[in-house]
Amino acid sequence: MRDIQDERLASLRSRFSAIRVRPDDKLEEVVKIVLEDPECYDVCVVDDDDRLVGVISISRLFQAIFFHYVDTHLMTRHLIELSNCETASELMLTDPVVATESESVGGAIGKMVQHELGELPIVDAEGRLVGSISMSVILQIWLEQLSEG
């Protein structure tokens, strides 16, 4: 049985996916794009050269839109900042955890577990977004390996 953790991410390229938005996209547009992929965990924000400039988690997007449902006495500075966001660039995290195609799947899994990520962007040497890999895809591969072996 092959061991998933030793494979390079490049070998899984056919399973990569990524939701891309531009920094100036309004949150309404981001939501519409997210709803096209119900298994989406994160949205990758890319520039005109397809370089990854940030990531927006679905939970962060949700909090930004529905911040007003939180009791005002419990509202934190974080939620107040999110309430002012109107575009992807205002909401994105600008230093996302990423992997490269040359990294092992085990290394990617380690990053996902350590940083509690549901999805990990994959970039090339120039920082261009190649795709992303999700927990769901890795779990599917794991199950496939069990049935092979």
Distances (CA, A) of 7 to 3, 103, 142: 7, 8, 12
Q: For residue 52, which amino acid is it?
A: L
18-76: per-residue pLDDT in tens?
999 999 999 999 999 999 988 889 999 999 999 999 999 999 999 888 876 766 655 56
The domain made up of 4-148 is a member of CATH 3.10.580.10: yes
Nearest to 46 by CA among 38, 36, 56, 37: 56
Query: Checking DSSP bridges between strand 52-57 and strand 42-46, what pairing results, if any?
Result: antiparallel
What is the domain partition of the chain in residue ranges? 4-148
Residue 118, token pair as written in the block = 């549901």
Place of tokens 């999700």: 134
